[in-house]
Amino acid sequence: MAEIAGAKIPVETARKLDGTSLVPLLQSPKAPWPDRVLFTHVGRWNDGAIDTHKYCQAAVRWNQYSLVRIETCDDPNCGAECKIINGVQNGKEGYYSKINSGFNYAITQKGKWALYNLDDDIPQENDIAEKHPDIVEKLSEKYEIWWKEVYPFIK
């Protein structure tokens, strides 16, 4: 967006940015587009609790695959998203339950990633991680690298 607006981004700020310009695609839908990986993380945690929320709503998107990890911290008094997620795990309906999120995934097992093929499974209901451990390994490694890169800017 900065490129479209003609904004000049200071070098120090540019070092902190992550992304790819959409200008080539806006100029031509047939423009070459590099293979890329998209990382998402809902960064909501209490002050000083970033380390225990590394996998709270983490996702990696690559081609047709969506690698997802939604797990809570171990603090029963956590006021971040963990409170909502723990409520769903304990039977309450909420955003993260399959009932209310027909377009979204549910909570993952602690320590496990879930993998979905969006070509076949847009609602992300069929975890194929066990069938494709190579993709899980590749994308989870990319997540770890990304986390190390952004960590200094979000802690």
Along the 155 residues of the chain, how does pLDDT read in single tens digits? Answer: 788 888 888 888 887 777 778 888 889 989 988 888 999 888 777 677 778 888 888 999 999 999 999 888 878 777 777 777 777 767 666 555 555 544 445 678 889 999 999 999 988 888 999 999 999 999 999 999 999 988 887 77
CA gyration radius for the chain? 18
* Structural domains of the chain sorted by starting position, each given as residue range(s) with its CATH number in brackets: 41-154 (3.30.1120)
Provide the pLDDT for residue 141. 98
Distance of alpha carbon 137 from the chain centroid: 15
What is the C-alpha to C-alpha distance for residues 116 and 104, in angstroms, rounded to an integer? 11
Provide the pLDDT for residue 102. 43
Provide the pLDDT for residue 146. 92
Starting from the edge strand earliest in sequence, which strands make up the sheet with 58-62, in order?
Answer: 37-41, 58-62, 65-69, 114-117
